[in-house]
Amino acid sequence: MTTVDNNAPMLSNQEIIGREDINDLQAIFESVGRDDGSVVKTVDNNCPTMFTWDYEKGSRPKLDKLYEKAKTAQWNGSTDLPWDTLVDQEKIAHQSYLDGSRGPIASASLDGTQLATWGEKEWVTLNMEYQNWMLSQFMHGEQGALLCTAKIVETVPWIDAKYYASTQVMDEARHVEVFSRYLDTKLNGHYVMNSHLGLLLDDIVQDSRWDMTYLGMQIMVEGLALAAFGYMHAMTEEPLLKKLLRYVMADEARHVAFGVLSLQEIYSEMNAAEIRERQEFAFEAALRMRDRMQGQEIWDRVGVTPRDAAQVTMMDPDRVLFQSALFSKIVPNCKKLGLLDAADGWLRTKFTEMGVIAFEDFEDTTLDLDANAEGSPVLRGVE
Ligand SMILES: [Fe+2]
Ligand SMILES: [Fe+2]
C-alpha cells in the first residue's frame, strides 16, 4: 500500500478532475472521443501481480458463495438469445419519435439552438444515433470490465476473490460479445469510446493499488451500468435487446456485490488518509460517469455545437432527473462502504453538489443480488 500523509488536505476539484467547476459545460461538451485510426490502445498497468499460497477455499464464505452461484449462472451468448429476431432500427426510431422520444433530450427548451428548426427526419436520425452511441458505450464499458476483472484475478491477494473474479472475466467476455454482435447485426453504426469514460478507464487501469480497480470498476462503472441497463430494459420493446439486457443484468448484480463484499473487508483495515484517497477516487469516477452520459460524440456527429448540446441536455430538468437516477446504485453502495461520511462527510458534500445524495438510502446491490437468488434470473422490479 502506498504511504499516505494522514494530515494532507482533500484534493481540489482541479487536482481530481482537471477543472474547478464541476458544471463547466464548455469543458464537459468540448471533450469528444475521436477515432485516431488505431485498432489498439496501450495503457500501463502499474499494479503488482500477487501469488497466494493460502489455497483454503471458502475462508471468505460470502465470496465463496458468490463464486458457487456464478458457476451455475453461466449462459451462452451465441445460443441463449434469439439472434434471428428481425430488428428494423429505423422503424423503431420513427415510432419512438411519434411517441415523443427525441434522443437524449427530455423536456428541454430548444429556443435559440440549432435544434429549434429540426423536423421529423433529423429527430429520427438522432434517435438512431442515440441508440448506436448507447450500445457502443455499453460495449466499450464491458471491455473495460473484462480487462479490469482479469487484472483483479492477478492482483487481489485472496484465493476466493481470484476464483470469483475468474468467473466474472467470462461474464464480461460474453457481455462484450453480445453487445458487439447486436451493434454489428441489428444497428447501423458504431461510436468510439466516450472521452470521459476513457479518462476514467485509463485511471483505473493505471492505478497501482489493487482495491482501486474494484472501486472504479465494480462500484462506479458497473453501478452506473446496472442502472442504465435497467432503464433501457424497461423502455425497449424490441424482444432481442430486452432479453439480452435481462441476461446481462443478472450477471451485473453479482459483479457489483463482489465489489461491495471485497471492499468492506479491505476498507475496515485502512487508516483515515487511505480512506480519503478512496473518497477522492469515488468522486472522480462519479463525475466522469455523469459527464460520460452527455452524448458528446452524438452531437459532434450530427453537427450540434457544444454550446447548444449543453443547453438541451444538462439544463433539461427531466434529463437531469434521469441522469441523477443513474446514481441510484452508486450512492447507497458508497454509503455501505463508509465512503460518504468519512473525512467530515466530504463525499456526501460532493454528491450533494452533484444532486445525487437523495439516493443514499436506496437499496444497496447486495439486496438486488438476494432478489436474484429467489429463483428469478432478473433484477427486482425490472421485467
Ligand atoms: Fe458486464
Ligand atoms: Fe460486470
**pLDDT for 227:** 87
Tell me, in angstroms, the distance from the centre of ligand 2 to residue 146's CA: 8
What backbone phi and psi angles, to 5 degrees, belong to 358?
A: -60, -15
Note the CATH number of domain 61-73+88-373: 1.10.620
Tell me, in angstroms, the distance from the centre of ligand 1 to residue 248's CA: 7
Tell me, in angstroms, the distance from the centre of ligand 2 to residue 202's CA: 17
Lowest mean pLDDT among 177-181, 322-326, 343-347, 357-361: 322-326
**pLDDT for 364:** 64
Tell me, in angstroms, the distance from the centre of ligand 2 to residue 328's CA: 17
Tell me, in angstroms, the distance from the centre of ligand 1 to residue 220's CA: 13
**pLDDT for 256:** 85
Asked if residue 179 lies in contact with residue 139, where contact means CB atoms within 8 angstroms, the answer is yes
**Which ligand lies nearest the alpha carbon of 365?**
2
Asked if residue 250 lies in contact with residue 175, where contact means CB atoms within 8 angstroms, the answer is no
HSE, side-chain direction, 13 A CA sphere, residue 317: 2
Asked if residue 273 lies in contact with residue 3, where contact means CB atoms within 8 angstroms, the answer is no
Tell me, in angstroms, the distance from the centre of ligand 1 to residue 305's CA: 32
Q: What share of the chain in percent tops pLDDT 70?
A: 93
Q: Say whether pLDDT at 370 is over 50.
A: no
Tell me, in angstroms, the distance from the centre of ligand 2 to residue 144's CA: 9
**Which ligand lies nearest the alpha carbon of 148?**
2
What is the distance between the alpha carbons of residues 170 and 149, in angstroms, rounded to a whole number? Answer: 9
**Which ligand lies nearest the alpha carbon of 143?**
1
Tell me, in angstroms, the distance from the centre of ligand 2 to residue 177's CA: 13
Extents of the domains making up the chain:
61-73+88-373
Tell me, in angstroms, the distance from the centre of ligand 1 to residue 174's CA: 8
